[in-house]
Structure 1
């Protein structure tokens, strides 16, 4: 056998498994984030107007007209880099939340910020604590940083807040190796929440040296009398970080902008890792304009609350268990028929979010659509359950 043939025969297979062995330990254990169904392919199959997309927690009412106008005004500046500091948007956010611009970090969605928090503040030998059924990115961020996950059991399904966070158990799980605690309020994918008094009591139990991350992606939609944002507690809890997004209530999911509010020192350290120009120019302008249109935000949230109540009631009338929610989605228990129902709904052009990846395989997460989308969902559901 020639030297060339011998070399060819000995060459490794450059497949995913081969490259995985060369990745850092944390990445080797990861599975890629699952976005759900291939929506682009489904839109081509059914047509964008016929497909009922209720799997991604998007706002069916869209963004403020001012945000659209701001994007159009930026189109002649596409050859220019955006403001690397996002200064105008930060000033608008500072005014809205009563913080300084030094307390704000912008991200390409809150997903990026949640990942960066673990990259900066956790690593091998450290622990990160979060609840079962918490946002999937908590686990991804922890594993990518090489830290250990400490997953706390959620409240049982027969509890007053089924599958919600057990805050006492989360606090008890924090130990000397804990560097981060992730909590979502309201929570994705369950829709559950806890009140301001519970939040204050929870924070009081945690060591001051442990960074506590409150993911509030759905906070604008929460209208429960007892709900209170952690933003109110930033001044008294320097170890607290709050993440928000423009993707949900503001209807700007396609532009991917999130932000973090925290102590200036925490933000300054995270700035060392932030990718340059991580928020594009049209997105910066659109988000600033959206913040100024409080009437549009209030209208979208009010319509969401109305449709959430109507959809929950309609599903309950059909004998389905609907988990309590303060978001723009509801988690619904379908039991042993869940996979079949979900597949048959897809065949009819109705997209929901399967929950097997969260350990909730007998449930589907349903985005609260507008009145027409919800009507079409219910009609399709009745057909597949007949």
Structure 2
């Protein structure tokens, strides 16, 4: 078989250990997963109401246009319905963009470390990947990203807040960047963690779409909305950009239950505000722990925090997992001496902090 040459060394996504796997491995009764940036508070009660009352026919295809969800999101964002592109998670929107714009003759620019699916999909399409390292504070170096753009560049990826650092792009920085990006380049602004942002100098990306037609914003229902299991994400852009991407979308790519659950979730913004506030308080718990323990960390605008322990992240990960807490080692994220921790409930945070103090005491002893 004549596989694409770029697939020879490409690895499939490796999901972390499940809670059941960890329970079995370490003979534990309780395991807390704080590794994938899911919402520890679940989802809106509106979703439970929808699921319990939904009269869906399992033999009928879902609405391929996702009209109910489309109108709900369009109304919430104050955009035209034709400005929306729905995906099986925002991951699929990223895949559609890559398929539409990238090939062997094209290049694409992104930060590093950042969300790995930008690079993964670019490699699949055979495009040249140009990576610009984050600065020491975990922020995009936008000037250097501009310098990396040329006539072959088709897409620039910006992740704000960025995964795995939690840092964000300031409004004045973004405007200066967009003013300098050539018109032939699509700028994808990944806002998977948008609902958690509290920074006063953050921008209104939807408003920016009116001034910058080459901008496309991606968001998801997997994080703050607590619907990771339903796999619903979306892109927002100009009617022209979305019309070019829409033919690439697979028919019926959002199942009927996911569409209804997402529409119900978007109707409860009080729940989102409560989660944002709980997340901010949770981050303060981790900041206080880091400062009292003398650990380096990055302040976050997302629902996770990256903490530098000064030793292999795998070592910290293994210790915490043996105690019933699953976090994410920085070894695979570009920060090998760190771990990325999803902000949990106040009690989960305190229990984890107690275990991290135990790890530090043991590490100091040896």
Q: TM-score, normalised by structure 2?
A: 0.95
Matched, 1:112 2:87: no
Residues 1:97 and 1:51: Cα distance change in structure 2 (over 3 Å): same
- Residue 292 (structure 1) aligned with residue 262 (structure 2): no
1:278 to 238, 253, 259: 253
Q: Any idea what SS the aligned residue of 2:109 has?
A: strand
How far apart are residue 44 of structure 1 and its match?
4.7
Structure 1 vs Structure 2 CA RMSD = 1.6
After superposition, where does 1:221-240 map in structure 2 within 5 Å? 221-240=196-215
Q: Deviations over 1:356-383 (max 9, x none)?
A: 2232111110100011111111121122
**Aligned twin of 1:319:** 294
2:27 is aligned with 1:52? no
Q: Work out which of the residue numbers 76, 82, 90 in structure 1 matches 2:70.
A: 90
Matched, 1:349 2:324: yes
Are residues 1:80 and 2:55 paired? Answer: no
Offset of 1:178 from its aligned partner? 0.3
Whether 1:265 aligns to 2:240 is yes
Q: 1:218 aligns with which of 185, 193, 197?
A: 193
Contact 2:314 2:331 in 1 (8 A): no
Who wins on radius of gyration, i.e. which is larger?
Answer: 1
Judging changes above 3 Å, is the alpha-carbon distance between structure 1 residues 97 and 175 closer, same or farther for their aligned structure 2 residues? same
In structure 2, stretches of 5+ residues that fail to align are 362-366
1:308 corresponds to:
283
Q: Give the distance between the partners of 2:282 and 2:57, measured in 1 at CA.
A: 39
Q: Name whichever of 104-113 and 47-56 sits farther off.
A: 47-56
> Is the contact between residue 71 and residue 283 of structure 1 (CA under 8 Å) also seen in structure 2?
no
Deviation at 1:76, TM superposition (A): 4.2
Are the structure 2 counterparts of residues 30 and 60 from structure 1 closer, same or farther at C-alpha, using a change threshold of 3 Å?
Answer: same
Residue aligning to 1:5: none
Higher mean alpha-carbon deviation, 46-55 vs 287-296, is at 46-55
Structure 1's 350 and 77: CA in aligned 2 closer, same or farther, altered over 3 A? same
Moved more, 309-318 or 140-149: 309-318
Q: How do 1:50-199 and structure 2 match up within 5 A?
A: 50-74=30-54, 76-155=56-135, 157=136, 162-199=137-174
Change (3 A) 1:48 1:78: farther
Per-residue CA distance 1:100-125 (angstroms, 9 max, x = gap): 11110100000111111111111112
Q: Following the alignment from structure 1 to structure 2, what is the Cα–Cα distance between the partners of residues 46 and 83?
A: 44
- Distance apart, 1:49 and its partner CA: 6.7
Q: 1:75 to 1:311 in 2, by over 3 A?
A: farther
Q: Which runs of 5+ in 1 are unaligned?
A: 1-18
Contact 1:115 1:140 in 2 (8 A): no
SS of the aligned residue for 1:335 comes to coil
Structure 1 residue 43: Cα displacement = 4.6
Give the TM-score, by structure 1 length.
0.90
